[in-house]
Amino acid sequence: MLERGFREPVLDEASAADLEARAVALRGAILTMTTLAASGHPGGSMSSLETYLLLYHFADLDPVRPHRDDRDRIVVSHGHTSPGVYCALADAGFFALDDAVAHFRQTASVFEGHVERSVPGVEWGTGNLGQGLSAGVGFALGARLTGRGYRTFVAMSDGEQHKGQVAEARRLAVKERLSGLTAIVDCNGIQISGRTADVMPVAIAADFAADGWGVIEVDGHDVRALYAAIAEAVADTSRPVAVIAHTVIGKGVSFMEDRAEFHGRGLSGDEYARAMAELGLASSLEAARERRGGVTLTPAIHAGNRVPSLVTGESRTYTREKDADNRSAWGTALEELAALNPGVPMAVLDCDLAASVKTEGFARLRPDSFIQCGVGEHNAVAVAGALSASDVLTFFSDFGVFGIDEVYNQQRLNDINDVPLKLVVTHCGLDVGEDGKTHQCIDYVGAFRSMFGWRVVVPADPNQTDRATRAIAAMPGRVALAMGRSKLPVIEDARGKPLFGEGYRFEYGRATWAREGADGTILVMGTVAGAAVDAADDLAQHGLRVGVCIVSAPLDLDSDAMEAATRTPWVLVVEDHAARTGLWASVAEWSLAHGIAANATSLGVEGYQSSGAARELLARVGLDAAGIAAKVRTLAHATT
Ligand SMILES: Cc1ncc(C[n+]2csc(CCOP(=O)(O)OP(=O)(O)O)c2C)c(N)n1
């Protein structure tokens, strides 16, 4: 066998003959697993098989140490061809083939219908087509920013070339000069609904070439030619290269070849017998069935994510002398983190909004780590996810509506892939300025409520933003920091000192009491916290003592604070967010889960609003100090 790394230009004859023989047996294994599971995608698995065999045998990987830092990264973008991936990985020694065959698509098995990171050798979970090239761009950037210099290979299908995100990724790869990136496109010409040329014609080779990629066309079933093409791509240090592999769906079994029917179904017993006879293989269905009935595999664990050891520096304290905005406080803290940690690989991804989201200072300080993705958010979010999984402290910063709503599924895939991405969104809520409905991200908590690994932090003023920024940078996992646009007065405590100044330490999930008061409690998050405090101070002048509790982690409420709040006669939940999915929803959930029937009322955003100055829009829906005070008076009146 040749050495790994595709450094030799041609495949030696012994390896070629060996792979060809093994490919026949593995086609049988693909059929056995999809027939046994009575589902799955044999057709594309059989057309991509030679690609997978060459990649897993000859990329710089170590099956015994599948998470070695400087390993080459292989992303399979058409995750439905998992049977082909599992067969090739097993053949290269990553796990036992019999396990993959027997437990394919079995409940609780790692060998899922679409590839995912808990399988040794799988770098990126996919299934939503069109996202793998972006992940590959992320890994390739990771190779550069960590200095590890590994190569990244992305296997793709022809059907998914329809997706716009693929074009976004192609362009970014060229712009960033990612010559360590190779795409191999399985062009079998078939997809679910028939011929790819009929479903949606795409000039695949021409599109890659037009964007500046090198292009090599090859017979994707000829292991010698395919190896040579990949080696040629690897040797090209001037640009990323796409190997266009012309293949046949269902390759190797005459009645499956070139038939869309076999894109996504297992064979019947009769078809299976015919196919195995044609391949010259004995049936292994019964043995696999017996094994499937045995113990289900324990899920393997993926590499996990390293938490950077970070110097977070001295917090800045802003004062009332000069109003500041949260986004500038975030940008300043980010810049300080970058300056304080020269040895920590960091990246900021931007989609043409750096001036607004305040990442320009970082860009000046670390120009090579500032990745401008243009108006290509779907790509940017997937790139950022994979980059964050490459030991690079990665921030994606955008307006809320573009960094969350626009890219919900990409963020969901980041969740599934368990990446440690930090998302910093500004212009959230009605505090977006005059842009109007399309820009009003009033669901930033709600979107992440529907996922499982994202934590959301909503700072209330520049001081809390500064401290939260430093804290989330050092936190493991996915964290979204969500803020508005406007300048906000620094919130002060009852003695007139900055509430989130000296002596305050940000702790995820810990709420902060800005005012004490036994007559009722305002629970508030984010932009409108200052207005709630002003309302409470105003009411105190008139003898009404209202507590104000500022919540910065709306998805993980502080039980101590909640218990204290619910002991008061009423609770008013105030937020610049759709109440039905925001803090109000969390409070309702908490109350039910704790069996505490809080006398609670909501004051949030009940629908998209018009264009207008944030201050006016918030006042119009009662989210200014006067509106909050008026609401409190009705509650106080009702309970006396
Ligand atoms: C974003 C997205 N849309 C739709 C699907 C459903 N889907 C699964 S496979 C497939 C056809 C893809 O064609 P190709 O990848 O060329 O499949 P092949 O037949 O070659 O395996 C579609 C539309 C999906 N997985 N992801």
Going from the Cα of 101 to the center of ligand 1, the distance in angstroms, rounded, reads 22
pLDDT at res. 598: 80
Does the predicted TM-score (pTM) go above 0.95? yes
Atom of ligand 1 lying closest to residue 131 CA: 1
Q: Are residues 214 and 99 in the same domain?
A: yes
Residue 150: pLDDT over 60: yes
Q: Are residues 439 and 523 in the same domain?
A: no
| Spatial contact of 618 and 628, defined as CB atoms under 8 Å apart | no
Helix (H, G, I), strand (E, B) or coil at 514: strand
Distances (CA, A) of 376 to 31, 147, 250, 360, 585: 39, 26, 35, 19, 32
| Spatial contact of 249 and 276, defined as CB atoms under 8 Å apart | no
Tell whether 519 is covered by a domain: yes
Mean pLDDT for the stretch of residues 126-148: 98
Tell whether 4 is covered by a domain: no
Residues paired with residue 572 on neighbouring β-strands, in sequence order: 522, 601
- Contacts of 93-100 with CB under 8 Å at 24 or more apart are 93/63, 93/64, 94/56, 94/63, 94/66, 94/119, 94/120, 94/121, 95/119, 95/120, 95/300, 97/29, 98/288, 98/291, 99/291, 99/297, 100/29, 100/33
Question: Phi and psi (nearest 5°) for 21?
Answer: -65, -40
Atom of ligand 1 lying closest to residue 260 CA: 19
Residue 298: pLDDT over 60: no
Tell whether 283 is covered by a domain: yes
Strand 214-219: give its sheet, edge to edge: 73-76, 152-157, 181-187, 241-246, 214-219
Mean pLDDT for the stretch of residues 213-221: 98
Q: Are residues 409 and 523 in the same domain?
A: no
Sole residue written with tokens 């399309």: 438
Query: Which of 263, 379, 409, 416 has most ligand 1 atoms within 8 Å of CB, for mutation?
Result: 263
Q: Are residues 106 and 219 in the same domain?
A: yes
Q: Which CATH number belongs to the domain containing residue 259 in this structure?
A: 3.40.50.970
Going from the Cα of 327 to the center of ligand 1, the distance in angstroms, rounded, reads 40
Sole residue written with tokens 């015994």: 64
Q: Are residues 414 and 550 in the same domain?
A: no
> For residues 139 and 63, what is the distance between their CA atoms, to the nearest angstrom?
19
Tell whether 620 is covered by a domain: yes
Going from the Cα of 80 to the center of ligand 1, the distance in angstroms, rounded, reads 8
Instruction: Please report which helix (H) or strand (E) contains residue 191, including its range.
Output: strand 190-191
| Ligand 1 site, CB within 6 A | 41, 43-44, 78, 80-81, 127-130, 157-160, 188, 190-192, 249, 263
Atom of ligand 1 lying closest to residue 128 CA: 26
pLDDT at res. 306: 84
Atom of ligand 1 lying closest to residue 78 CA: 15
| Spatial contact of 243 and 226, defined as CB atoms under 8 Å apart | yes
Confidence label for 155 from pLDDT (cuts 50, 70 and 90): very high
Helix (H, G, I), strand (E, B) or coil at 610: coil
Mean pLDDT for the stretch of residues 612-628: 97
Nearest CA to ligand 1 atom 16: 159
Going from the Cα of 188 to the center of ligand 1, the distance in angstroms, rounded, reads 12
pLDDT at res. 566: 96
pLDDT at res. 301: 59
Mean pLDDT for the stretch of residues 16-25: 98
Mean pLDDT for the stretch of residues 118-144: 97
Q: Which tokens go with 519?
A: 């007559």
Going from the Cα of 281 to the center of ligand 1, the distance in angstroms, rounded, reads 29
Q: Measured on CA atoms in the order 355, 357, 358, 364, is the torsion positive or negative?
A: negative
Going from the Cα of 129 to the center of ligand 1, the distance in angstroms, rounded, reads 6
Residues paired with residue 152 on neighbouring β-strands, in sequence order: 73, 181
| Spatial contact of 410 and 131, defined as CB atoms under 8 Å apart | yes
Tell whether 307 is covered by a domain: no
Distances (CA, A) of 338 to 43, 189, 333, 469, 506: 48, 47, 9, 12, 20
What is the tens place of the pLDDT at every residue in 29-61?
A: 999 999 999 999 999 999 999 999 999 999 999
Residue 274: pLDDT over 90: yes
User: Around Cβ 147, how many Cβ atoms within 10 Å?
Assistant: 8
Atom of ligand 1 lying closest to residue 192 CA: 11
Q: Are residues 537 and 394 in the same domain?
A: no
Q: Are strands 422-426 and 454-457 parallel, antiparallel or unpaired?
A: unpaired
> For residues 263 and 401, what is the distance between their CA atoms, to the nearest angstrom?
36
Going from the Cα of 514 to the center of ligand 1, the distance in angstroms, rounded, reads 53
What is the tens place of the pLDDT at every residue in 389-434?
A: 999 999 999 999 999 999 999 999 999 999 999 999 999 999 998 9
Going from the Cα of 222 to the center of ligand 1, the distance in angstroms, rounded, reads 24
Q: Are residues 543 and 592 in the same domain?
A: yes
Atom of ligand 1 lying closest to residue 79 CA: 25
| Spatial contact of 236 and 181, defined as CB atoms under 8 Å apart | no
pLDDT at res. 322: 84
Q: Are residues 400 and 455 in the same domain?
A: yes
Q: Measured on CA atoms in the order 160, 165, 171, 176, is the torsion positive or negative?
A: negative
Mean pLDDT for the stretch of residues 365-375: 98
Terminal-to-terminal C-alpha distance of the chain: 85
Tell whether 308 is covered by a domain: no
User: Around Cβ 435, how many Cβ atoms within 10 Å?
Assistant: 14
Among candidates 11, 48, 9, 55, which has minimal Cα distance to 27?
48
Tell whether 497 is covered by a domain: no
Q: State which residues form the domain around 104.
A: 13-292
pLDDT at res. 245: 98
> For residues 229 and 565, what is the distance between their CA atoms, to the nearest angstrom?
67
Among candidates 448, 443, 442, 423, which has minimal Cα distance to 351?
423
> For residues 131 and 382, what is the distance between their CA atoms, to the nearest angstrom?
7
Q: Which CATH number belongs to the domain containing residue 632 in this structure?
A: 3.40.50.920
Going from the Cα of 191 to the center of ligand 1, the distance in angstroms, rounded, reads 7
Q: Which tokens go with 439?
A: 């820009």
| Spatial contact of 160 and 129, defined as CB atoms under 8 Å apart | yes
Q: How many domains does the chain have?
A: 3
Query: Which of 157, 163, 199, 407 has most ligand 1 atoms within 8 Å of CB, for mutation?
Result: 157
Residue 300: pLDDT over 80: no
Contacts with 231 (C-beta within 8 Å, 6 or more apart), sequence order: 6, 7, 8, 9, 10
pLDDT at res. 48: 98
> For residues 600 and 591, what is the distance between their CA atoms, to the nearest angstrom?
10
Atom of ligand 1 lying closest to residue 186 CA: 20
Going from the Cα of 116 to the center of ligand 1, the distance in angstroms, rounded, reads 16
Q: Are residues 399 and 474 in the same domain?
A: yes
Q: Are residues 57 and 115 in the same domain?
A: yes
Sole residue written with tokens 């998209």: 608
pLDDT at res. 640: 66
Among candidates 316, 319, 317, which has minimal Cα distance to 489?
319
Q: How far is CA 27 from the centre of its chain?
A: 33
Atom of ligand 1 lying closest to residue 43 CA: 21
> For residues 32 and 310, what is the distance between their CA atoms, to the nearest angstrom?
50
Q: Are residues 19 and 152 in the same domain?
A: yes
Confidence label for 282 from pLDDT (cuts 50, 70 and 90): very high
CA angle, corner 53, sides to 49 and 56, nearest 5? 130
Q: Which tokens go with 137?
A: 């761009």
Tell whether 302 is covered by a domain: no
Q: Are strands 478-482 and 600-605 parallel, antiparallel or unpaired?
A: unpaired
Q: Are residues 517 and 482 in the same domain?
A: no
